[in-house]
Structure 1
Amino acid sequence: MKKTLLLGISLLCATFIMATEIPFQKAEIKSIMRKVADWQIANPHPAPEHDDLNWPQGALYVGMVDWAELAEKEDGDDTYYKWLTHIGRRNCWQPDKRFYHADDIAVSQSFLDLYRKYKDEAMIIPTLARAEWIVNHPSEGSFKLIEGDLKTLERWTWCDALFMAPPVYAKLYMLTGEKKYIKFMNREYKATYDYLFDKEENLFYRDWRYFDKREANGKKVFWGRGNGWVLGGLVEILKELPKKDKNRQFYEELFVKLATRVAGLQHPDGFWHASLLDPTSYPSPETSCTTFIVYSIAYGINEGLLDKATYLPVMVKGWNALVSAVEPNGKLGYVQQIGADPKKVTRDMTEVYGVGAFLMAGNEIYKMAR
């Protein structure tokens, strides 16, 4: 009886160890990150959607900053910091043109990170000026987004915006100590949450136009990358706010709730698909949502917000799927193109925001790799 009990305990312990042990080597994580980063730099996407200051580039730069830090720390390679700094300098560190639009301040995330490293005031002043004006003159625009009506894009009326703008205000709060930035972020973020978060499904609608739409299987329309944008943005906010900061609790609780829900929607192939609740209609893998989700789950494990035994297998399966979508030359495939809802995806499709999120994910996984 005692031998049987001891055997059972041993098997249980062995299973737990296997479930909490990451099977990746640091060298292999770093190698695939370098390959993906180098391919993207060598193969820039054309304008106009990919001007230096546009939001797809902004998402790419967030991942490139993570990779630049890792490459310099581990290999003494400052190539990627130089690439990022060159982009900032040739644009005088300005955010993009549309003053209130969340997309057009996304590049400021990386500019502020570079300021944090180099302490060059030129890197922060344009973003400070933009944010200061917006905080002092907040928009009262409608949350009913209407294509072509720029007034309805002045607030965070689409879920992607929660990645683009809020982390900028969180960074400014931490860099300056000015509470007006976090107060503005809290007010606007919670207004978007109240409007777009479905409390029954624990998922975000992309915007109000999807409230009454249904997928082919009758389920509500919840876009994979849209919810990935939100999770990624939450990680960027949580990275900024100290553990004891009174502003942190709402974002931490929302992160756990959304990450838990999304983790349960992983497809057997390891990917998440363009439609979270109707993957059959969109059977192809979709890496831009998968990258953001894997990034978020890895962060949650590293920070103790998500149970390692439960979520590590999800993360490992997701990362293996992502690596399988990388071509030998470093091109990341299966990235849904620019849009606002689930669409068909093919392996030859790529986009810079997918690459950015891939590098974010790789950076978090590297921290726990052997």
Structure 2
Amino acid sequence: MNTQFIKASLFAAGLLLVSTSFAQNKNDLKNWPSGYAPLEVGKRIAAHFIATPHTNFGRPTPPKVITYPESCTWYGALKFAGASRDKELLGQLAKRFEPFFGPEAKLIPVPDHVDYSVFGSVPLQLYIQTKEQKYLDLGKGIADKQWGPPEGPRVVAASHEFYKQGLTWQTRLWIDDMFMITALQNQAYLATGEIKYIDRAAKEMVVYLDSLQKPNGLFYHAPTAPFYWGRGNGWMAAGMAELLGSLPKNHPERARIMKGYQMMMASLLKHQAEDGMWRQLVDDAESWKESSSTGMFTYAMITGVKKGWLDAKTYGPAARKAWIALVGYIDGNDEVKDVCEGTNKNTSRQFYLDRKRLTGDLHGQAPILWSAAALLQ
């Protein structure tokens, strides 16, 4: 037989094998190229978090209280420690928390706003993993205060109206809330087994879905901010994924929340960029690719595929591509690039497009840890 023909046949067979392998693995959420394994990436980001002092939204001055990006990153690092069965990491995260029972007690935020109350998810997750009563007492107290009578300087007239409807008085109908509120109440449910906590979260989520989700599956930032801001939608996506992961299968609100979640995931699939990223304004092709929203969407999509809420053949490739793209935004210092700065609601498209792109902001670190944990589960 002709030698050149044999070589050509072997080369063609090799190409076919590679092509077939890629086709089989494009929705694979277990096997990763070198440098992209969730265990490796999660350890890097968690170690960086532990080495980082308490932060104040990138300002050079220390914070007066723990900010919500730190709370969400801490919670993510704990979830990753649990998923990776890393007792050493868990111990380091608990050690970082210990000063709050002593000299750093003043850094515990007063839970009179969703951004402050989400701090409670950290001690509750510490309790879930360690069973130390002091964590439960602190976290449960914050969760109960969120549904207690309106109190403090942040109370407005609407607070009382929401409270009368059985919602938290901290309700404000910003989509960011649907991680901040539901994560805390969900953790209280997992820590105590008391159904009232998951009922609270589910009722709140349905009100936000009915009030803010649009027919295309996405969410305005707020009723007066008619833009599909990336990270705002990311908080919503992550919040629904978190809640559905704990919500009992026979819960009366589960079907409504699942419908809202699946509508959103279908829309995100359409708006994902070719490289796997999502944008600062989700539906705006002229807006820049943003890492924190991509991280949150990645987490929500991975969770849906893993738990069977989303078709693996359809969403698996998107989730895999998103994770690979996201890891590419981690720099040599284990910090995440192109993170949108903190954003108040606004009525101007240009306002959202002009937001600063930060490196190292914890808004970007947190969802990488959530996603790494989800991939390991």
Same fold (TM over 0.5): yes
Task: Encode CA deviations 1:38-95: one digit per residue, 9 max, x unaligned.
Answer: 2333344643685553211121112111222245x25755454334533653555996
1:30 paired with 2:36, answer no
1:175 paired with 2:191, answer yes
CA distance 1:261–1:93, change in 2 (3 Å):
farther
Counterpart pick for 1:54 among 56, 67, 85: 67
Does the residue aligned with 2:278 lie in a helix, a strand or coil?
coil
What does residue 270 of structure 2 align with?
Answer: 264
RMSD of Structure 2 on Structure 1 (CA) = 3.2
Summarize the alignment of residues 128-277 of structure 1 with structure 2, pairs less than 5 Å apart. Answer: 128-137=140-149, 141-142=157-158, 154-198=170-214, 200-211=215-226, 221-277=227-283
What does residue 288 of structure 1 align with?
Answer: 292
Does the residue aligned with 2:144 lie in a helix, a strand or coil?
helix
What does residue 318 of structure 1 align with?
Answer: 322
What stretches of structure 2 of length at least 5 have no aligned partner?
1-16, 160-167, 346-351
Cα distance in 1 between the residues matched to 2:294 and 2:94 = 29
TM-score after normalising by structure 2: 0.78
What does residue 63 of structure 1 align with?
Answer: 76
Cα distance in 1 between the residues matched to 2:99 and 2:221 = 30
Q: Report the AA paired with residue 135 of structure 1.
A: W
What is the aligned-residue identity percentage? 22
CA distance 1:345–1:131, change in 2 (3 Å):
closer
Query: How many residue pairs align between the two structures?
Result: 336
Does the residue aligned with 1:210 lie in a helix, a strand or coil?
coil
Q: What displacement does 1:336 show?
A: 0.8
CA distance 1:26–1:308, change in 2 (3 Å):
farther
Of 157-166 and 81-90, the range deviating more from structure 2? 81-90
Cα distance in 1 between the residues matched to 2:208 and 2:99 = 31
Does the residue aligned with 1:264 lie in a helix, a strand or coil?
helix
Cα distance in 1 between the residues matched to 2:47 and 2:130 = 23
Q: Report the AA paired with residue 177 of structure 2.
A: A
Q: What displacement does 1:267 show?
A: 1.1
Check the 8 A contact 1:103/1:164 in 2, yes or no: yes
What does residue 4 of structure 1 align with?
Answer: none
CA distance 1:38–1:251, change in 2 (3 Å):
same
Counterpart pick for 1:125 among 119, 137, 146: 137
Does the residue aligned with 1:309 lie in a helix, a strand or coil?
helix
What does residue 49 of structure 2 align with?
Answer: 40
Cα distance in 2 between the residues matched to 1:365 and 1:111 = 23
Check the 8 A contact 2:234/2:297 in 1, yes or no: yes
Cα distance in 2 between the residues matched to 1:87 and 1:353 = 23
Cα distance in 1 between the residues matched to 2:169 and 2:353 = 23
Q: Report the AA paired with residue 241 of structure 2.
A: V
Q: What displacement does 1:14 show?
A: 7.2
Q: What displacement does 1:243 show?
A: 3.2
Larger Rg over CA atoms: 2
Cα distance in 2 between the residues matched to 1:135 and 1:84 = 28
What does residue 24 of structure 2 align with?
Answer: 17
Q: What displacement does 1:209 show?
A: 1.7
Cα distance in 2 between the residues matched to 1:54 and 1:345 = 20
Q: What displacement does 1:364 show?
A: 1.7
